[in-house]
């Protein structure tokens, strides 16, 4: 995808873009955290932003990333299968910095500049939206309503004039565990598993 070169070359806030959510503690030499794109991948996974540890160690879709390891274990796929079928990107491409109880919620500057182009160039068969920020920005819904629509097969997004199926889900993070029942996590997890097994 052509847009990936532009993303890799971006240093956001470190280059004076004060509207960017990139944390000032990230070295200027450290590019946004990206997965290598493989053309066989037809599922687009979008989460909020990289964690501090993942970005500093520059580990996204490898077992060196604890979150990734736990996520693929819950989904029930191997690292190799993930690389082949799923392209993982973020609403904000850089770690946004700390906040009380977790990380800062990034603004949508990065998404406006890069994400819609990523979606357009990839042309996914399925999009998995993980967490509130991306659901609100792309679907203009709150997370609970979007998940209910997902379970009722009523979430679709137009990509270059073509309707693409969307699965909205609660974040896989440990901090979201207490809310899994309320937000239908097991139901959306089953939909994700079935979509991957059936190639969407």
Report the alpha-carbon distance of residue 5 to residue 19 in Å, rounded.
Answer: 21
For domain 3-197, give the fold: Uracil-DNA Glycosylase, subunit E (3.40.470)
Angle at 25 between CA 117 and CA 79, to 5 degrees: 55
Report the alpha-carbon distance of residue 7 to residue 3 in Å, rounded.
Answer: 6
Would you state the pLDDT for residue 151? 95
Q: What are the residue ranges spanned by the domains of the chain?
A: 3-197
Report the alpha-carbon distance of residue 166 to residue 153 in Å, rounded.
Answer: 9
Task: Give tens-digit pLDDT for 98-148.
Answer: 998 789 999 988 898 899 999 999 999 999 999 999 999 999 999 999 999
The whole-model pTM stands at 0.93
Report the alpha-carbon distance of residue 165 to residue 123 in Å, rounded.
Answer: 12
Angle at 40 between CA 150 and CA 155, to 5 degrees: 15
Q: Are 150 and 183 in contact (CB under 8 A)?
A: no
- In this structure, of 11-15, 49-53, 171-175, 192-196, the range with the lowest mean pLDDT score is 11-15
């Amino acid at each position: 995808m052509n847009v990936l070169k532009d993303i890799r070359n971006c240093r956001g806030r470190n280059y004076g873009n004060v509207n960017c959510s990139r944390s000032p503690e990230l070295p200027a030499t450290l590019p946004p955290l990206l997965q290598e794109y493989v053309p066989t991948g037809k599922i687009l996974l979008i989460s909020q932003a990289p964690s501090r540890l993942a970005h500093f160690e520059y580990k996204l879709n490898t077992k060196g990333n604890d979150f990734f390891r736990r996520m693929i274990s819950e989904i029930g796929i191997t690292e190799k299968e993930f690389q082949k079928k799923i392209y993982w990107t973020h609403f904000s491409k850089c770690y946004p910095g700390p906040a009380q109880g977790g990380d800062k919620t990034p603004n949508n500057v990065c998404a406006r500049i890069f994400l819609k182009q990523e979606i357009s160039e990839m042309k996914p068969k399925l999009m998995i939206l993980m967490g509130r920020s991306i659901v609100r920005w792309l679907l203009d819904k709150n997370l609970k309503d979007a998940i209910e629509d997902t379970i009722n097969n009523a979430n679709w997004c137009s990509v270059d004039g073509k309707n693409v199926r969307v699965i909205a889900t609660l974040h896989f993070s440990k901090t979201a565990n207490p809310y899994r029942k309320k937000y239908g996590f097991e139901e959306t997890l089953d939909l994700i598993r079935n979509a991957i097994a059936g190639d969407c």
